[in-house]
């Protein structure tokens, strides 16, 4: 299945953005009669026939529309301290979107190596990963905010903080219950400070382990995302 992203696409106005049209007709060299799929990133998946392959003004015919394509009965919000190496944060976004995530936020922690992070490129990476994994929902990528601000404003029903130095804590795979509205905090390479863990617990975040291995930030985020998905797929 070939999937394109057109945020303003509707059956009454079936158009592609210039970059997607260029990719379809100049790179993939799709011709009239070809059938492709288009999503608006909000769960709508349109099966579309190309009536005219003029990439500047292509004519598209909507054959059918599926609403809520791939909709899940659970929600995953990842909150991560971005890595010093931007490439690793980009990898994190790509893999979490491929696995299935609804929202990604970036938080500035006491031990963060990076205090500022632009999300423009990450949003493009999220779009590419959505298309690659054949999803119809585009996750929201949030700008970076202070750790305390994020903790205070989070209202997810199931809240977790992945923390290395807590001796007695549950494994995330056992603590998360199916069908949940999840939020998990993933700290920087130096981990969360005890003060941050204490603060998060005051706001209902439960300390959890992702397993016996010590993981890099981006690996921990991907592992947590995968765990939430597995918890729901096996129920």
Give 81-129 pLDDT, tens digit per residue. Answer: 998 888 999 999 999 999 999 999 999 998 887 777 788 899 999 999 9
* Number of domains, the chain: 2
pLDDT in tens, 124-155: 999 999 999 999 999 999 999 999 999 999 99
Supply the range of the domain harboring residue 18.
3-66
- Has residue 8 got a pLDDT over 90? yes
**What percentage of the chain exceeds 70 in pLDDT?**
98
Give the CATH number for residue 11. 2.40.240.20
Report the C-alpha gap between 20 and 121 in whole angstroms: 17
- pLDDT number for residue 190: 85
Shared domain for 44 and 115, answered yes or no, is: no
pTM recorded for the entire structure: 0.92
Shared domain for 157 and 59, answered yes or no, is: no
Shared domain for 37 and 110, answered yes or no, is: no
Q: pLDDT tier at 164 (50, 70, 90 boundaries)?
A: confident
Rg (CA), the chain: 20
Report the C-alpha gap between 109 and 147 in whole angstroms: 5
Tokens 């001796």 correspond to: 167
Shared domain for 16 and 109, answered yes or no, is: no
Report the C-alpha gap between 220 and 211 in whole angstroms: 10
- pLDDT number for residue 39: 97
Average pLDDT over the chain, rounded to whole? Answer: 92
E strand residue ranges, 73-153: 75-80, 103-108, 140-146
* Domain end position, chosen among 66, 97, 121: 66
Report the C-alpha gap between 178 and 15 in whole angstroms: 38
Shared domain for 217 and 139, answered yes or no, is: yes
Shared domain for 220 and 149, answered yes or no, is: yes
- pLDDT number for residue 168: 64
pLDDT in tens, 165-207: 666 678 999 999 999 999 999 998 888 999 999 999 999 999 9
- pLDDT number for residue 118: 81
Give the CATH number for residue 200. 3.40.1280.10
Q: pLDDT tier at 57 (50, 70, 90 boundaries)?
A: confident
Pairing of strands 35-39, 45-52: antiparallel
* Domain end position, chosen among 14, 39, 66: 66
Shared domain for 45 and 85, answered yes or no, is: no
Report the C-alpha gap between 100 and 86 in whole angstroms: 21
* Domain end position, chosen among 36, 66, 96: 66
């Amino acid at each position: 299945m070939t999937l394109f992203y057109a945020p303003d696409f509707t059956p009454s106005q079936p158009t592609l953005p210039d970059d997607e049209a260029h990719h379809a007709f100049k790179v993939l060299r799709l011709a009239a009669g070809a059938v492709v799929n288009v999503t608006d990133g909000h769960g709508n998946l349109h099966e579309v026939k190309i009536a005219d392959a003029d990439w500047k003004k292509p004519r598209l015919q909507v054959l059918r529309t599926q609403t809520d394509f791939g909709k899940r009965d659970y929600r995953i919000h990842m909150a991560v301290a971005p890595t010093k190496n931007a490439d690793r944060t980009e990898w994190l976004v790509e893999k979490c979107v491929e696995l299935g995530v609804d929202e990604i936020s970036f938080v500035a922690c006491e031990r963060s190596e990076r205090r500022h992070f632009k999300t423009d490129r990450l949003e493009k990476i999220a779009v590419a990963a959505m298309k690659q994994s054949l999803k119809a929902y585009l996750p929201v990528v949030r700008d970076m905010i202070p750790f305390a601000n994020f903790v205070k404003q989070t209202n997810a029903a199931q809240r977790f903080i992945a923390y290395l130095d807590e001796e007695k804590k549950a494994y995330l795979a056992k603590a998360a219950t199916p069908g949940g509205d999840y939020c998990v905090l993933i700290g920087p390479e130096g981990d969360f400070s005890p003060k941050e863990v204490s603060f998060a617990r005051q706001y209902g975040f439960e300390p959890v382990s992702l397993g016996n291995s010590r993981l890099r930030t981006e690996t921990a985020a991907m592992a947590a995302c995968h765990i939430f998905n597995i918890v729901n797929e096996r129920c």
